[in-house]
Every structure is written in structure tokens, then in C-alpha cells.
Amino acid sequence: MQDPQRLLVLALLDYVDRKNASASQLCDLIGLEQNRLKQHDLLGLTAKQTDDLWVNAAQLTHDPLFGLHFGESMQLTALGVVGGLIQTSRTIGEALTQAAAFASLITDMVGMTSRRTSDRIIVDFQPNEARRELAPAAFRHQMDMFMAFTIREIDGLVLRRVSPSQVTYPADPAYQAEYERVLRGPIRQSVGDCNYQLVLDGSYWDEPIITANYDMQRLWLKQATERTQAIRDAKTMSVRIRQQLLATAYLGIPSLDDVAANLNVSSRSLQRKLQEEGVTYQQLADSIRKSLAIHYLDTRKYSIKEIAYLLGYNELSAFTRAFKRWTGASPIHYRP
């Protein structure tokens, strides 16, 4: 059984690298020898090391919303056995139930429960009060991560964009707009015991889980891993963005504004930096979409309409035009 803590730390360190900060420096700051990450026994970070990991990651990346942005970009494989159980569930309801049951394998900061009413799914995130009082900053980053990750991963399980009907969270007013962007809904400030909660449409509970996106996740994560050293050596904006797109391609291609916000830079700054490197965001995104489209067509497992939807096209005609621009042939004529 893989150690969920190790997998989560590896994912966090990779994300720190993508934010153009030093994962090695982060390990030094918390007293973690990096060769321990390659071993097969339990990682066994102390509570203080875990807390320091989150706080120092936010400081090194100059991102006060590090946990929120990490959760937005994290992959299901980072949760190891928990991710596998979620992926092999039959429905969203089963996946949420599995995630709630095994959340304690990932962190002792946050618990999670989910339930269904007549027309709603209610996901409650329950703080470990003792740990929250001792390490409020680390707690906030982990709570942000779990809430953002829950919403984004449901997108990877179904063929619908998931937006909560209600988000309850004690968000800092200074960052309200960014919380609403990532959590996809207006934030209702916490009242009483209801501190952290997502409310979803009840119809999601019985929604069957698809596997197409997770087939792609394995493919793209393999490619992203193979390029990790080049990424760390190059540190160019275009390479960093390409890695981010590769790692999350199974969830679709985000907008330039979303990528900029996740990297904690302005959209204009991101465009200017890419222009200096001789590439546009559209070119980077299209290169990923082209590779995804060709892979899906080659597998012959999905209809062209399904492939268009998986790539984020609402209209089949738009996907067809884009594919002809990339390859010179329509999808139906390209398919072997």
C-alpha cells in the first residue's frame, strides 16, 4: 500500500517547483531529507514538520492562497489508495463516501462527511479543533486544498462542469473573488457550527463515473514526470505552464485567466512573459488538445461527440474546425 502522506508531499513539492520556487529549499526548511521520499516505509513527518511544510510553501511561492491553488491543480493520483478507491467507485455518491471514509489517511487536520437529502448533496469539512488552534495557517491551507480539490475532481469523474449551489466558508474578504473563482460560487460566511460546507445538486449522487479522463491522467502524468528534470532546469514560463497543462489535461484545458490566477500572476504579465519566449497560451493549449484528441481517436473507445466534450468544446462543429486546423483532416476522416 502506498503511503498517502508521501504521495501528497511529492505532489506538493512538484507544485512548488511549478510555482518557480525551490522544493529542495522547502525540504531543508522542514528538516526532510529528500531521499526519504524514495523509500517504501511510511514517511512519518511530525505534526510540526507537516505544519511547517504548508506555511513555508506559501512563503517560498509568495502565494498567500497556496493551499487553494494547490488543490485546484492537484491530481487524484496524489492521494494514492484513496484516489484509486474514488476512481473505481460506480457513482459520485460512492466516490464521496469513499473519500470521506479515508480522509484521515491524508491529514489529521480535516475530516470529511457527505450526505444526500431529497434534492441536495451536502459535503461537510470538519476541523480538528485542537490542531487548528495550534497551527491556524497550516490548517487554512489544508482546508482550502481539500475544498478546491473536491470540486475539481468531481469534474474529472463526470461529463459535467460541477458548480456548488452553495459554499460556506469564513473567507478573508480581501481574497473573496479568488475563493469564488476556485470554489465556483458565491461564498456564504460561516454561521454557528456550519464552518466549511459545499452543497451540490442532488442529481450528481447517482451520476455514473466515467473512466476516459483517468486513462488520460495516467498518460499525461507519465509524460509530465519524464519532463520534470527539464522543467526544473529550464524554469521558463512556457515550460512551467506546459507541465501544468500536462498534469491536469484529464480535467480539460483551463483558461489563461485561470492559469494566471493559479500561478499568482496577472493575466497580462503571463501573456507578456510568454510573448518574450516566442509562444502564446493558445499555442500551448492547442498542442495539448491536439495530442489528447489524437489519443482519444486512436483508442476508438469514445465517439467524436464525446471527445469534443472531454476537450471542452460545447459544439461538435467547433472541435471539428480545430482538429482540421491541427491535422489537415476532420476527426471522422482521421480516425483509423
Q: Is the pLDDT of residue 326 over 80?
A: yes
Retrieve residue 279's grid coordinates.
Answer: 509562444
Spatial separation of the C-alpha atoms in residues 204 and 281, rounded to whole Å: 33
Q: Which residues of 210-246 are buried (b: 16+ CB within 10 A; e: fewer)?
A: eebbbbbbebbbeebeeeeeebbeeebbbbbbbbbbb
* Structural domains in the chain, sorted by start: 4-206 (3.90.1520.10), 212-334 (1.10.10.60)
Residue 209 grid coordinates = 463515473
Arithmetic mean of pLDDT, 88-108: 81
40 strand-pairing partners:
none
- Mean pLDDT of the region 28-55: 88
Across 179-195, average pLDDT: 79
Query: Where does the pLDDT of residue 2 fall: very low under 50, low under 70, confident under 90, or very high at 90 and above?
Result: low
Confidence of residue 231 (pLDDT cuts 50, 70, 90): very low
Question: In this model, does residue 5 exceed pLDDT 60?
Answer: yes
CA triple 104-176-60, angle to 5 deg: 65
The whole-angstrom separation of Cα 160 and Cα 252 is 11
The span from the CA of 317 to the CA of 266, in Å, is 32
Which amino acid, residue 261?
A
For 113-159, give the DSSP string.
EEEE-SSEEEEEEEE-HHHHHH-HHHHHHHHHHHHHHHHHHHHHHSS
Residue 37 has pLDDT above 90, yes or no: no
Percent of the chain with pLDDT over 70: 83
Q: What are the tens digits of pLDDT across the range 261-271?
A: 888 888 999 99
> What's the mean per-residue pLDDT of the chain?
82
Residue whose cell numbers read 532546469: 233
Instruction: Tell me how far CA of residue 211 lies from CA of 181, 223, 253, 264, 301, in angstroms.
Output: 26, 19, 18, 31, 11
Of 161 and 232, more confident: 161
Of 37-51, 124-138, 182-196, 212-226, give the lowest mean pLDDT range: 212-226
Collapsing DSSP to helix, strand or coil, 77 comes out as helix
Q: What is the predicted pLDDT for the residue at 219?
A: 56
Burial (0-12, 13-18, 19+ Cβ within 10 Å), 285 = buried
- What pLDDT was estimated at residue 211? 58
Query: What phi and psi, each to the nearest 5 degrees, are found at residue 179?
Result: -60, -40
